[in-house]
Amino acid sequence: MIVTGLCFVALTALVKHLGDDLPAVQTAFLRYLLGLIFVLPMLGALRDAPIDRGMLGFFGLRGAVHALGVMMWFFAMTQITIAEVTAMNYLTPVYVTLAAALFLGERLALRRIMAVLIAFLGVLIILRPGLREVSPGHLAMMGTAIFFAASYLMAKRMSGTQDAGVVVAMLSITVTICLAPFALAVWVPPSPVQLFWLFWIASFGTAGHIAMTLAFKAAPVTVTQPVTFLQLIWAVALGAILFGEPLDAFVFAGGSLIMAAVVFIGWREAVLRKQIKRPATVL
């Protein structure tokens, strides 16, 4: 998870470095297009996967939903600080919890409700509505977290019938296809230097997802989730050192509250899974 955090912060910094010289949607498209090279080892599993027409449509729907989140994330990176993007990205697991209760029938106990409310309090601390202007970048990040949460819930449904490699490969392919028409509509010829950095963005993104998958296999959520808080520390430091972004105590405080809520939700889910798996004692 430490490697995951370093990869994602490096990705964020490189996107910030590219700035808005290229349209955000084109940057997102090129990141996924160049990232398709990492899908090549999965082609065998993809060819042999039991994908019917209905599942193919579901893959396409997930790709469209995820593409909307990706476009908003790349846009937000050109509008707000690295620290704000990182802190607000923690909202995704919170939205997953809410959506699981609304659409999957999962029980939302009082403690989880309190954790969700604490997370949204963290958002209010970051945004400080009424005390400063809420920018389009902030709104885009809130939308990003919603669309990514929907994408993760769809992936959860797929995981019961599809291999993990197939799910990752299909996401890369469908997101690239969905982003293509938007990117072509605003296309600006990229320079070789921009393509060089975009390839590294794709590399760090793929490496981060691989490291995260390995971490989830090696340890429970209660161990892995707290480590993701390091991303906020690194993001704040990187933004200040490389991009001259101000050290914002409100962003750090709000991000801490959101992360605390996410850790609590993860811990409760782990406890509930243990209770379900524990065999009943015959008296």
> DSSP of 80-116, one letter per residue?
S-HHHHHHHHTHHHHHHHHHHHHHS-----HHHHHHH
Q: Which residues pair with 283 in a beta bridge?
A: none
Give me the pLDDT at residue 200, please: 93
Give me the pLDDT at residue 33, please: 92
> Angle of helix 82-89 relative to helix 2-18, nearest 10 degrees?
130
Give me the pLDDT at residue 180, please: 96
Lowest mean pLDDT among 17-26, 128-137, 249-258: 128-137
Give me the pLDDT at residue 154, please: 84
Q: How confident is the model at residue 93 (pLDDT cuts 50, 70, 90)?
A: confident
Let me know if residue 283 belongs to a domain. no
Q: State the average pLDDT over residues 218-232.
A: 70
Let me know if residue 282 belongs to a domain. no
Question: What's the structural domain count of the chain?
Answer: 1
Let me know if residue 14 belongs to a domain. yes
Q: Indicate the DSSP class of residue 280.
A: P
Q: How far apart are CA 49 and CA 41, in angstroms?
A: 14
Q: State the average pLDDT over residues 248-275.
A: 78
Lowest mean pLDDT among 76-85, 145-154, 223-232: 223-232
Classify 117 as helix, strand or coil.
Answer: helix
Q: State the average pLDDT over residues 188-192.
A: 93
Q: Which residues pair with 132 in a beta bridge?
A: 129
Q: The dihedral of CA 154, 150, 228, 205: what is its sign?
A: positive
Give me the pLDDT at residue 283, please: 36
Question: In the predicted model, is pLDDT for residue 148 greater than 60?
Answer: yes
For tokens 């750090």, the residue is 252
The more confidently predicted of residues 202 and 226 is 202
Lowest mean pLDDT among 117-131, 215-229, 232-246: 215-229
Let me know if residue 224 belongs to a domain. yes
Q: Is the pTM of this model over 0.85?
A: no
Type of residue at 268: R
Q: How confident is the model at residue 282 (pLDDT cuts 50, 70, 90)?
A: very low
Type of residue at 99: A
Let me know if residue 86 belongs to a domain. yes
For tokens 């959860």, the residue is 156
Let me know if residue 234 belongs to a domain. yes
Q: How confident is the model at residue 281 (pLDDT cuts 50, 70, 90)?
A: very low
**Number of residues written out for the chain:** 283
Task: Could you list the beta-strand ranges (E) of the chain.
Answer: none
Let me know if residue 198 belongs to a domain. yes
Buried b (16+ CB within 10 A) or exposed e, 127-159: beeeeeeeeebbebbbbbbbbbbbbbbbbeebe
φ and ψ at residue 49, rounded to 5 degrees: -70, 140
Q: State the average pLDDT over residues 72-85.
A: 88
Q: How confident is the model at residue 273 (pLDDT cuts 50, 70, 90)?
A: low
Instruction: Name residues whose C-beta falls within 8 Å of residue 107's C-beta, 6 or more positions apart in sequence.
Output: 101
Q: How far apart are CA 166 and CA 78, in angstroms?
A: 32
Q: State the average pLDDT over residues 47-58.
A: 81
Average of per-residue pLDDT values in the chain: 82
Q: Indicate the DSSP class of residue 129.
A: B
Give me the pLDDT at residue 220, please: 66
Give me the pLDDT at residue 223, please: 66
Could you tell me the residue range of the domain that residue 207 belongs to? 2-277
For tokens 């080892």, the residue is 41
Give me the pLDDT at residue 72, please: 93
Let me know if residue 129 belongs to a domain. yes
Of 151, 224, 263, nearest to 5 by C-alpha is 224
Buried b (16+ CB within 10 A) or exposed e, 233-259: ebbbebbbeeeebeebebbbebbbbbb
